[in-house]
Amino acid sequence: MAHLLKIFLWLFGLFTAALSQVKIGCPPGFTLIEEKCYYVSLEKENWFNAHRRCFTLNSTLVVFDDEKDMKVVTASLKVLGLPFSNGWTDSIWTGITSLGTNGHFVLSHDGGPLAYAQWAPNQPNNATAHECVAYANNNGFGYHNTQCDFHQFPFVCQAKKIESESYLCLKKNQFVEIEL
């Protein structure tokens, strides 16, 4: 019986000696802006390669949730090196496409509807083969549809922020950090 009591007290001490801490951050190479993490690539790629690169980083091409999100993220992306001059040439790829949807623009990662679609003036233009969407400052910031494999633009990947818990536990007179 005394042996069981020692085991119970040891386990109780182990669990009560644990300190927890919640960490919020981004994957390596990503920057936290508001509630999401962003990876900026200044390398110019076609839409397919940009989409693939984001996928390998467990992320998606950028899509804005609402007007506030668009303004805050755009301002931050300028600071991170994207020029966004007044024209189509400084566009970035987005996670919006009409590939395989008969002209209906959807989210490329899951085929879902757009929560917010700030199109540039006269966009989408419904041109044949303009099935991918880029984002630019042309008479104001907005989306524009264009050819997926012809144009080469920089791209921005977005991912959910990481929330992990770490525990500092006492184990045989030493502290051990465990991250979940």
Domains of the chain: 17-179 (3.10.100.10)
Question: Environment class of residue 75 by beta-carbon count within 10 Å: exposed (0-12), middle (13-18) or buried (19+)?
Answer: exposed
| 45 vs 47: CA distance, rounded Å | 6
pLDDT at residue 22, rounded to an integer: 58
pLDDT per position as a tens digit, 63-105 = 999 999 999 999 999 999 998 887 888 899 999 999 988 889 9
What one-letter code names the amino acid at 119? Answer: W
pLDDT per position as a tens digit, 34-44 = 999 999 999 99
The number of CA neighbours under 13 Å toward the Cβ of 5 is 2
What is the chain's mean pLDDT, rounded?
A: 84
Q: Is the peptide bond before 27 cis (omega within 30 degrees of 0)?
A: no
| 95 vs 93: CA distance, rounded Å | 7
What are the beta bridge partners of residue 170?
175
Entry pTM: 0.78
